[in-house]
């Protein structure tokens, strides 16, 4: 099992719009495709920071879920265009992490 820790920077003044879009559109859509969202966070001291985590059993599952989400017409036509309006795509950082044996989310 591993997680993706995804760190995003919103465009100026867009963080709340991004959070609303994530919680009302992106997360429900991805969950409907089988994604497991482990958490969604905003920076306490950075007003443009948004972080979320997704969990995968293995690389094969990640590939299958990526195809289900990012290969869909709904993502391509409806969701992806809005992402570029709210996020600074050049500042996206994705880190794959594995929980340690005593982690409460393992």
pTM confidence score: 0.93
- Evaluate if residue 105 carries a pLDDT over 90: no
What pLDDT is recorded for position 101?
92
The answer to whether position 57 is within a domain reads yes
The answer to whether position 81 is within a domain reads yes
Reported as a single tens digit per residue, the pLDDT across 13-72 is 999 999 999 999 999 999 999 999 999 999 999 999 999 999 999 999 999 999 999 999
Contact 97, 106 (CB under 8 A): no
The answer to whether position 102 is within a domain reads no
Q: How far is it, in rounded angstroms, from Cα 11 to Cα 91?
A: 10
What pLDDT is recorded for position 106?
73
The answer to whether position 105 is within a domain reads no
Q: How far is it, in rounded angstroms, from Cα 14 to Cα 87?
A: 8
Give the CATH number of the domain where residue 69 resides.
Answer: 3.30.70.100
Contact 97, 1 (CB under 8 A): no
- Evaluate if residue 96 carries a pLDDT over 90: yes
The answer to whether position 103 is within a domain reads no
């Amino acid at each position: 099992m591993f997680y993706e820790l995804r760190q995003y920077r919103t465009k100026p003044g867009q963080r709340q719009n991004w959070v609303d879009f994530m919680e009302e559109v992106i997360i429900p859509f991805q969950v409907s495709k089988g994604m497991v969202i482990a958490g969604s966070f905003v920076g306490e001291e950075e007003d443009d920071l948004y972080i979320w985590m997704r969990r995968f059993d293995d690389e094969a599952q990640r590939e299958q879920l990526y195809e289900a989400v990012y290969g869909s017409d709904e993502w391509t036509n409806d969701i992806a265009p809005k992402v570029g309006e709210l996020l600074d795509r050049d500042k996206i950082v994705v880190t794959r992490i594995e929980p340690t044996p005593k982690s409460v989310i393992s």
